A and B are shown apart, each in its own frame.
Chain A
Amino acid sequence: MPNNEKFVAGFTNCPDKFLELGEHARAKGFKDIDCIMPYPVHGFDEAYGFKGSWIGLAAFAALLTGWVAGFLMQCWMHSIAYPINIGGKPHISWPAFIPVTFECGILLAALTTLGSLVVAAKLKPSPFLKTIRERCTDDLFSIIIPVNSDEDISFAQAFLKEEHIEETEVYSSKILEMNQCGLEGKCC
């Protein structure tokens, strides 16, 4: 989250226009812009200059860890903890360990992906949350331009006007932080 106090939001319901907005805003020199989307539009990450997610890496690391740990667990249980003769097979009969090894990796990777998503997207049960506009989860896209002074506000609003965005509004940044109910509403 950028450490500014307010942000200017510009609304549109057209996905193409929304992508254009991001590109133009970045070309204009606006820093740390964010957006709110009801559904993902292909290419939004490039248009708004978002960095890629680290979740893939975390999941891959978990997958490998799960595989190694799962395999070692079986080897340990069958050869060190309680070596038991099963049908005359070697204690470490590794081909028989492959299915469980595989499942351990997948299970750990899936749980890690969920955990990473909760951390990365800052998800938390929020019973009283309100979005800035009801239509933000319906069909309304918005660009979020962080601002620090009145000058910034008028500069951002002028930019949105140039882009033929009719609906704009200035909000307190708290509204975007998680676990704020956002009921304090807008501030101008």
Chain B
Amino acid sequence: MSSVIQESPLSVETRATDITTSVVGPMTAKPGLLWFMAFALAVAAFGIGAISVIHQLIHGIGILGINNTVGWGVYITDFVFWIGIGHAGTLISAILFLFRQKWRTSINRAAEAMTVFAVMCAGLFPLLHIGRNWYAYWLIPYPNKRDLWVNFNSPLLWDVFAVTTYATTSMIFWYVGLIPDLATARDHSKNFFRKIVFGVLSLGWKGTGKAWVHYERAYAQFAWLATPLVLSVHSIVSFDFAVSNLPGWHTTIFPPYFVAGAVFSGFGMVITLLVVARSTMKLEKLITMDHLDLCNKVILATSLIVSLAYLTEIFIAWYSGSMLERYAFLNRAIGPYAWAYWTMMFCNCVAPQIFWFRSMRRNILIMFIVSIFVNIGMWFERFNIFVISLHQDFLPANWNYYEPTFFDWATTIGSFGMFFILFLLFCKVLPVIAIAEIKSVLPDPAGNRSKKNNDGGNH
């Protein structure tokens, strides 16, 4: 643990003012060719998704692959996948904040942005999946003519509350974190239009001591609220399955297993995004190899937790003595969806083991490839849980094979397009690094190196 609880991995030479220039600089510069190419790709992907969604709004969800037996397919997989991606951002911004992990300051802003955008993508899927999308507001308890209320006994409704609360809280947390940095951007941009926009967004932040007292209290408060919230959200998502009595879903291990999986997949996405953002935005000095190394350690640790959960599930299925439980798990490994099961096993349990080696944890290409594996593996984990448990139900006459159609994939690709459009725009127009936070953990912010460094820290 000693290397995890280390001081900030930033070099002594970095001064506070260097941070301002290196973060605000790229915001005003013209984006490079790489950025435009990525953006064009994201827009194209989003376009495919948009066409698919419009087609679905006209023709109904019959165009999707779901059938009577398998009622939850790619859409619900995408929903849980995106919610899971969001979790790493909250872990970095809230939980690591409470544990006083100073290294989080370099990556927390980007990770929080990832959370907000991922939750937006996630929220889209249940809304699309309900079929008659224009009645989506029926999910909210509101006084109506028939005096009917929503069913609070249903985990699906718990989800509505959990996801909306999560979306709201993460957006507020992210925005509050941005306020002092937007003020910095306001004072350091030359463009009149930018000054006005940042002036409005930074809510007149001047950095007076009394304002900082309240700000710091509020920020800590959000961390305290977001920590139990993030754990509750994926627990509640797992209740959608665990509370039913379908073999493969009906297990008490689901809440912790889903939360660990969410952090695992989220850090996979963090690495994917940071590797790209760091090289295209030239932030190598602020997002150092040490940061990536630490993220990779988290991936390794959560991969082990997830692997343990897989093995526990299999053991309990055997140990329960229940024929149906045993069949459900055997069917995963050797049934018609064995290809998906073993893809998941390889991506989630085997591939991250390469991070036991320090040189591999610090190799950009390797970590990028592994992070893609993690993303794919965690997508398939949800696909396996939902589809394999459903496709052969209690009556063999109902057994069916689920095949996603073009529209399932198109909407999925569209959600990635939307996510990357938002993330790329964020990289371009907002401070990608938490400027004020990172300055407060610099070893020598004023640049007078004659002073002794690290004189006992902050106590």
B-contacting residues of A (Cβ < 8 Å)? 13-16, 34-45, 48, 50-53, 55-56, 59, 63, 73-74, 77-78, 81-82, 86-87, 89, 93, 96-97, 99-100, 102-104, 106-107, 109-111, 113-114, 116-118, 120-131, 134-139, 144, 176, 178-179
Q: Known contacts being A36-B207, A55-B221, A134-B187, is A121 close to B176, with CB within 8 Å?
A: no
Contact B148 A106 (CB under 8 A): no
| Interface core residue of B169, B214, B228, B448 (most chain A CB under 10 Å) | B214
Contact A50 B210 (CB under 8 A): yes
Cβ-neighbour of B205 out of A13, A35, A39, A123 (below 8 A): A123
Contact A39 B446 (CB under 8 A): no
Task: Choose, from B79-87, B112-120, B155-163, the stretch at the interface.
Answer: B155-163
Residues in B neighbouring A124, C-beta threshold 8 A: 203-204
- Within 8 Å of chain A (Cβ to Cβ): is B145? no
Inter-chain pairs besides A40-B212, A103-B232, 15 sampled, C-beta below 8 Å = A37-B207, A38-B180, A39-B437, A42-B440, A42-B458, A59-B225, A81-B147, A100-B157, A103-B229, A106-B232, A114-B172, A117-B214, A122-B211, A127-B200, A136-B207
The closest CB in chain A to the CB of B157 belongs to A100
- Within 8 Å of chain A (Cβ to Cβ): is B371? no
Per DSSP, chain B at the interface is helix
Contact A123 B204 (CB under 8 A): yes
The 8 closest A-B pairs by CB, nearest first: A126-B204, A53-B217, A123-B203, A139-B16, A121-B211, A35-B209, A77-B149, A39-B439
Q: Can you offer 15 A-B residue contacts whose CB atoms are under 8 A?
A: A15-B446, A38-B180, A38-B184, A39-B439, A55-B221, A97-B152, A99-B236, A99-B239, A103-B232, A110-B222, A111-B172, A113-B218, A117-B214, A124-B204, A139-B16
Residues in A neighbouring B165, C-beta threshold 8 A: 103-104, 106-107, 110
Residues in A neighbouring B207, C-beta threshold 8 A: 36-38, 131, 136-137
Q: Known contacts being A37-B212, A87-B153, A100-B161, is A139 close to B204, with CB within 8 Å?
A: no
Fill in one digit per residue for B321-349: 1 if any A CB lies within 8 Å of its CB, else 0.
00000000000000000000000000000
The closest CB in chain A to the CB of B146 belongs to A82
Query: What band does the interface of chain B fall in when counting residues whose beta carbon is under 8 Å from A?
Result: 35 or more
- Within 8 Å of chain A (Cβ to Cβ): is B241? no
Contact B204 A89 (CB under 8 A): no
Residues in B neighbouring A56, C-beta threshold 8 A: 217, 221
| Interface core residue of A34, A102, A106 (most chain B CB under 10 Å) | A106
Residues in A neighbouring B215, C-beta threshold 8 A: 40, 117, 121
Residues in A neighbouring B126, C-beta threshold 8 A: none
Fill in one digit per residue for B425-459: 1 if any A CB lies within 8 Å of its CB, else 0.
00000000001110110000110100100000010
B:122-169 near A, CB below 8 Å? 141, 147-153, 155, 157-158, 161-162, 164-165, 168-169
Residues in B neighbouring A81, C-beta threshold 8 A: 147, 149
Contact B203 A110 (CB under 8 A): no
- Within 8 Å of chain A (Cβ to Cβ): is B206? yes
Cβ-neighbour of A52 out of B164, B212, B213, B229 (below 8 A): B213
Contact B149 A107 (CB under 8 A): no
Contact B204 A129 (CB under 8 A): yes
The closest CB in chain B to the CB of A120 belongs to B214
A-contacting residues of B (Cβ < 8 Å)? 15-17, 20, 141, 147-153, 155, 157-158, 161-162, 164-165, 168-169, 172-173, 176, 179-180, 183-184, 186-188, 195-196, 199-201, 203-218, 221-222, 225, 228-229, 232, 236, 239, 435-437, 439-440, 445-446, 448, 451, 458
Residues in B neighbouring A134, C-beta threshold 8 A: 187-188
Contact A14 B448 (CB under 8 A): yes
Task: Give the shortest distance, in Å, between A127 (CB) and chain B (any CB).
Answer: 4
Residues in B neighbouring A128, C-beta threshold 8 A: 196, 199
Contact B153 A86 (CB under 8 A): yes
The closest CB in chain B to the CB of A123 belongs to B203
CA distance A77 to B15 in the complex (A): 58
Contact A126 B187 (CB under 8 A): no
The closest CB in chain A to the CB of B200 belongs to A125
Contact B221 A59 (CB under 8 A): yes
The closest CB in chain B to the CB of A75 belongs to B152
The closest CB in chain A to the CB of B179 belongs to A123
Cβ-neighbour of B183 out of A48, A113, A137 (below 8 A): A137
The closest CB in chain A to the CB of B239 belongs to A99
Task: Give the shortest distance, in Å, between B82 (CB) and chain A (any CB).
Answer: 19
Contact B440 A36 (CB under 8 A): no
CA distance A93 to B151 in the complex (A): 11
Residues in B neighbouring A73, C-beta threshold 8 A: 141
Q: Known contacts being A38-B16, A99-B239, A138-B188, is A74 close to B152, with CB within 8 Å?
A: yes
Task: Give the shortest distance, in Å, between B164 (CB) and chain A (any CB).
Answer: 8
Task: Give the shortest distance, in Å, between A95 (CB) and chain B (any CB).
Answer: 10
Task: Give the shortest distance, in Å, between A17 (CB) and chain B (any CB).
Answer: 8
CA distance A107 to B229 in the complex (A): 9
CA distance A36 to B187 in the complex (A): 14
Contact B199 A126 (CB under 8 A): yes
Contact A129 B239 (CB under 8 A): no
The closest CB in chain B to the CB of A89 belongs to B153
Contact B147 A78 (CB under 8 A): no
CA distance A159 to B42 in the complex (A): 59
CA distance A126 to B303 in the complex (A): 47
Contact A99 B221 (CB under 8 A): no
Residues in B neighbouring A35, C-beta threshold 8 A: 208-209
CA distance A129 to B179 in the complex (A): 14
Residues in A neighbouring B17, C-beta threshold 8 A: 135, 138-139
Cβ-neighbour of A137 out of B147, B187, B445 (below 8 A): B187
Residues in B neighbouring A48, C-beta threshold 8 A: 209
Task: Give the shortest distance, in Å, between A100 (CB) and chain B (any CB).
Answer: 5
Contact A99 B439 (CB under 8 A): no
Contact B229 A106 (CB under 8 A): yes
Contact B446 A99 (CB under 8 A): no
Contact B184 A137 (CB under 8 A): yes
